[in-house]
Amino acid sequence: METNVKTTPLMQEKGETNRGRLLVKCPDRPGIVAAISKFLSDFQANIIESSQYSSDPEGGTFFIRIEFDCPSLEEKKAALEADFQALAQEFTMDYQFTYTEDRKRTAIFVSKEPHCLLELLWEWQSGDLPTDIALVISNHEEARGMVESLGIPFCYIPANKDIRKQVEQEQIALLKEHQIDLIVLARYMQILTPDFVSEFPNQIINIHHSFLPAFIGARPYERAYGRGVKLIGATSHYVTNDLDEGPIIEQDIERVNHRDHVADLKKIGRSIERRVLARAVKWHLEDRVIVHENKTIVFQ
């Protein structure tokens, strides 16, 4: 069972200085919502958006995302989080508090193809990606002009399989120096090592140019053309050490037919990739994604 309560336009227009979010995952049982609501009420917090889901009301897992407005939230943060620990222990909760005033810092990785990067930059410029883009890292120079024209640092780090460990050490140092919260692989055509991935669990979002689990790995459009597919798609997912098998955040498709050759599939696919990656990144930034095993619960 799933319920969803949306904010009104008036709520969205209000300032977000006192806006917080709470994500919870725990064994399902009666009383969870009531207990959380009372807890927030005791801090004079007003719930403005709430979405919940249970995998099974009898013995399943319960998930909830709550967005709330709380007067003087900055002064109450420490007490809010400290006091919640008792409730979390009672219900065996895995939980996270976040605050909209604490904007996440993002690094974008890109290779030669700029379409996904451009979409993210446009969404960021228009105010639809609530993040600070701290830097763009690339193993090619093609994107430098478009990035630096926006005042975003561009770091060119040549990369290939022979120097991968050295390159990743340099990248990790940069990411830590810039206090990065999220890494977006916007068609970054290098495989990350387990050491790199383990540094940033559920903090790396990739766009794969196929509708997974079909056509995992390289050259998916060529293989799709060879199979004569009638649908092509794209998949945005968290990166794990299993290639293209991390928890899926978002997917989309377009119809194609026998007249579409590989170049046509790639052109159609670029449009799908752009919107799928942008949506996944936005949902992550808005704390709408809860990872459970190798799946995601996405409260849109």
**Which sequence positions are flagged as catalytic?**
244
Which conformational region is residue 266 in: left (phi greater than 0), alpha (psi within -120 to 50 degrees), or beta? Answer: alpha
- The CA distance from 210 to 201, in Å, is 23
* Structure-token pair, residue 13: 């227009």
| Bond into 213 cis (ω within 30) | yes
Question: CB–CB of 212/242 below 8 Å?
Answer: no
Q: Tell which residue, 143, 197, 196, 181, has the closest CA to residue 281.
A: 181
Strands 204-208 and 182-185, sheet pairing: parallel
- The CA distance from 207 to 223, in Å, is 18
Torsion of CA 279, 280, 284, 290, to 10 degrees: 130
- The CA distance from 23 to 175, in Å, is 25
CB atoms within 10 A of CB 278: 23
